[in-house]
A and B are shown apart, each in its own frame.
Chain A
Amino acid sequence: MAEERVLMKGNEALAEAAIRAGCRCYFGYPITPQTEIAAYMSKRMPKIEGGVFLQAESEIAAINMVYGAAASGVRAMTSSSSPGVSLKSEGISYIAGCDLPCVIVNVQRGGPGLGGIQPSQSDYYMATKAGGHGDFHLLVFAPASVQDMADFAVWAFESADKYRMPAMILSDGLLGQMMEPVVFPEISSAQPEKPWAAVGHNNARPHNIINSLYLQPDELEASNIQRFERYEVVKREMASAQTYLTEDAEIIVTGYGATSRIIRSAVNAARKEGIKAGMLRPVTLWPFPEQAYKDTLSTAKVYLDVEMSMGQMVNDVKLAIECKRPVHFFGHTGGIIPTPAEVLAQIKALDEKIRKGDI
């Protein structure tokens, strides 16, 4: 039976969905614009059997508490915003190196440094390329609505468990603070067995060791190769994108998260003016949905990447289409949100070039 729609902030919808997905431990440290997640967890967790909310002394402590809880086989989560996620990177690397599942939420704000508290998408590199030291990847989900915030919380926990890797929900201040109706997804209560967990062997099995140290080079290499073989499966099974009016599109406007909402409006406006524009929104940022981009090559003449950053996703788009078409960039940073009118102007300029034969 479908559940009722409720009006909620993105951050709160994510927190509620995480709990419904079986998250039993939340560790965090206050930072704008994600604090609603911690506040919501502090209200709900004490009312749930086995529920743990703890305000840590730092983001470093918080991610290491997640590490401990996840190592013991419990679904655990932390959330933060950009500067706080920088601090978590060492812990994220350990979690990945130990093949532990957990969920990390980054409600992005502007950077570098203390930056600003307004929405931003300038942690794309950090999420998809440099979540910490060493050879590893995070699953990265990019919600674009309050409904996505809820759905992806469940998706993230389930995939993290399935592939035994940390998952990140890469949101931003706009989605976190925005209110929209949401229907909470149906959740299967079954969670996979975790025979590897360090939770006491009860004298019934050899001891489990959660560890990322390999002093022998060949052992470390073997462990990395094994992990990357698993990543190949993840790439095949998880890469996800959403397309809108791309079937005949000459101009593919691409962008993730909140920016994709602006792109959609601009594409609608362009279509009204007879311009064949379409939208491609990567839903998973790692794995990057390369095939979805390749599929647009049959009609596309040019790509326009729109982000709230200095253009961190551009190279991934170029690689996905193997540089077979030009890729332009338009964006704002610092908390300035691109407007549909600005994106439309960019689309029109590209359309003009196509008409003139310049593209």
Chain B
Amino acid sequence: MILERPKSLADVSTHFCPGCSHGIVHRLVSEVMDELQIEGRTVGICPVGCAVTSYNYFTCDMIEAAHGRAPAVATGVKRANPDKVVFTYQGDGDLAAIGTAETVHSATRGENITVIFINNTIYGMTGGQMAPTTLPGQVTQTTPYGRDPRYAGFPVRICEMVSTLSGCAYAERVAVDSPAHVKAAKKAIMKGFRNQLDGMGFSIIEILSTCPTNWGMTPSQAIERVRNEMIPYYPLGVYKDMTDKGGVFGDK
């Protein structure tokens, strides 16, 4: 079962680098779509970033959004078609820098959508520049001496921030660095989609991810970095859960 390709994942090879978490997360999202049998009524919104061509990988209907605007595009689709399932799939540059306003406001409106957020502490697609999530001291193409918070500011912790908003029904941070964490990540993604089916409001699942290519690491070194550097700075866990309180409007 584990090795079988989910139906919601196209039978094509992806362009992701070896050891990149994007591939694992695509698989998890597809498995969830399969298990909930929602592929036929789902519209996915892909970002500008390494997941830009996800429209070729997910077999549900797909829309490619401008950089950072996926939650606004998702809002348009969902408001026009409340009976459809709408998710965004975004990187940290996309969601936490250029698209911060769209993230915050779709969350605070309680948009009934599911957001899959890939935090790899770097801009992957453009070749490894500082992201809003880049850790203090982390060397990137645009922080060649390491990110100095006095100069380049502090990293953004999205789950912590978004969970303060009343429209946020569910915020959980997960990782995909071990089989146990992958299992937990799938459970969180499943919950994010279930919440939408139940009309709970805005759900976001932040996934601590690897970018071996731009970190200049082997896949196994990259996994070690997630464990040793990222998880301590970005603690895993559920930051908000309104599902047993009837969702963000208290009516479910």
> Which residues of A are interface residues toward B (Cβ below 8 A)?
24-25, 27, 50, 52, 54, 56-58, 60-62, 64-72, 74, 76, 90-91, 94, 98, 197-204, 207-213, 215
Decide: A54 and B39 in contact? CB cutoff 8 A.
Answer: no
B interface residues, Cβ below 8 angstroms from A: 39-43, 45, 52-53, 55-56, 58-66, 69, 72-81, 84-85, 101-102, 104-105
Q: Are B76 and A199 in contact (CB under 8 A)?
A: no
Set of chain A residues within 8 Å of B40, measured between Cβ atoms? 200-204
Chain A residues within 8 Å of B56, by CB: 209
**Nearest residue in A to B102 (C-beta to C-beta)?**
A61
> In the complex, A81→B42 CA distance in Å?
35
Q: Do residues A198 and B101 form an inter-chain contact, with CB atoms below 8 A? A: no
Cβ–Cβ < 8 Å partners of B77 in chain A: 68-69, 71-72, 198-199
Contacts of A94 in B (CB 8 A): 65-66
Check if B105 sits within 8 Å of A25, measured CB to CB. no
Query: Shortest distance in angstroms between B125's beta carbon and chain A's nearest beta carbon?
Result: 12
Q: Is the CB of A68 within 8 A of B41?
A: no
Once the chains bind, are B64 and A199 in contact (CB under 8 Å)? no
- Shortest distance from the beta carbon of B97 to any chain A beta carbon, whole Å: 14
Contact call A212/B64, Cβ cutoff below 8 A: yes
B61 close to A213 (CB less than 8 A): no
Cβ contact within 8 Å between A68 and B42: no
The interface residues of chain B lying within 8 Å CB-to-CB of A69 are: 76-77, 79-80
Q: Complex Cα distance A74/B79, Å?
A: 11
Instruction: State whether B75 touches A65 (Cβ < 8 A).
Output: yes
Name the CB-closest residue of A to B46. Answer: A211
Bound-state Cα–Cα, A209 to B41, Å: 14
A69 to B84, CA, bound (A): 12
Whole-angstrom distance between the alpha carbons of A209 and B56 in the complex? 8
Partner of B63, one of A25, A62, A71: A71
Please indicate the chain B residues that have their CB under 8 angstroms from the CB of A200 in the complex.
40-43, 60-61, 81, 84-85
A67 touches B60 (CB 8 A): no
Q: Contacts A199-B84, A202-B41, A203-B39 hold; do A209 and B64 have CB atoms under 8 A apart? A: yes
Interface of B is mostly: helix
Provide 10 A-B residue pairs closer than 8 Å at the C-beta atoms, listed in order of the A residue: A25-B76, A60-B72, A67-B69, A71-B77, A91-B69, A201-B40, A203-B40, A209-B55, A209-B61, A211-B63
In angstroms, Cα B99 to Cα A76, docked, is 22
Q: How far does the alpha carbon of A62 sit from the alpha carbon of B56 in the complex, in Å?
A: 27
B residues near A62, Cβ cutoff 8 Å: 72
**Contact assessment for B62 and A68 in the assembled complex, using a CB-CB cutoff below 8 Å:** no
User: Of all chain A residues, which has the CB nearest B101?
Assistant: A57
* Given known A-B contacts A200-B61, A208-B61, A68 and B39 have beta carbons under 8 A apart: no
Q: In the bound complex, what is the Cα–Cα distance between A72 and B79 (angstroms)?
A: 10
Which chain B residues border A199 with CB–CB below 8 Å?
43, 61, 77, 81, 84
Other A-B contacts than A54-B75, A67-B63, A200-B40, 12 sampled, CB-CB below 8 A, are: A24-B80, A61-B75, A62-B72, A64-B73, A65-B73, A65-B76, A67-B69, A68-B76, A76-B76, A198-B77, A211-B64, A213-B64
Nearest chain B CB to A42 CB, angstrom units: 14
User: A213's contact among B52, B58, B60, by CB below 8 Å, is which?
Assistant: B52
Chain A residues with CB under 8 Å of B59's CB are: 207
Q: How far is the CB of A75 from chain B (nearest CB, A)?
A: 10
Evaluate contact between B72 and A65: CB separation under 8 angstroms: yes
CB within 8 Å for A60 and B62 given contacts A69-B80, A72-B81? no
A72-B43, A200-B41 as given contacts; A66 in contact with B63, CB under 8 Å: no
Q: What CA separation (Å) do A76 and B61 show in the bound complex? A: 19
Across the interface, name the chain B residue whose C-beta is closest to A208. Answer: B61
The one of A64, A90, A201 in contact with B76, judged by C-beta atoms closer than 8 angstroms, is A64
Instruction: Return chain B residues, CB-CB under 8 Å to A90.
Output: 66
A74 touching B73 by the CB < 8 A rule? no
Q: Please list the 10 inter-chain residue pairs (A to B) with the smallest Cβ-Cβ separation, ordered nearest first.
A: A68-B76, A64-B72, A65-B76, A68-B73, A198-B61, A57-B105, A69-B76, A64-B69, A200-B41, A203-B40
Query: CB distance A25 to B62 under 8 Å?
Result: no
Residue of B nearest to A65 (CB): B76
**Residue B80 contacts which of A52, A57, A211, A215 (CB distance < 8 angstroms)?**
A52
The reply to whether A210 and B60 form a contact with Cβ atoms under 8 Å apart is no
Contact B102 A68 (CB under 8 A): no
Among residues of A, the one whose C-beta sits closest to the C-beta of B67 is A90
B101 to chain A minimum Cβ distance, whole angstroms, is 5
Most buried by B among A61, A98, A204, A212: A61
Q: Are A64 and B66 in contact (CB-based, < 8 A)? A: yes
Docked complex Cα distance between A203 and B56 (Å): 16
Q: How distant is B168 from chain A, measured CB to nearest CB, in Å?
A: 15
Question: B80 contacts which chain A residues (CB < 8 A)?
Answer: 24-25, 50, 52, 68-69, 72, 74, 76
Contact across chains for B79 and A54 when beta carbons are under 8 A apart: yes
Residues of A within 8 A of B101 (CB): 57-58, 60-61
Residues of A close to B73: CB separation below 8 A:
64-65, 67-68, 71
Q: How far is the CA of A173 from the CA of B104 in the complex (A)?
A: 32
Is B79's CB under 8 angstroms from A209's CB? no
Q: Which residue of B lies closest to A68 (CB)?
A: B76
Q: Are B64 and A68 in contact (CB under 8 A)?
A: no
On whether the beta carbons of B39 and A198 are closer than 8 Å, the reply is: no
Question: Nearest Cβ distance between residue A102 and chain B, in whole angstroms?
Answer: 10
Nearest B residue (CB) for A95 = B66
- Nearest-neighbour CB distance to chain A for B60, whole angstroms, equals 6
Chain A residues with CB under 8 A of B79: 25, 52, 54, 65, 69
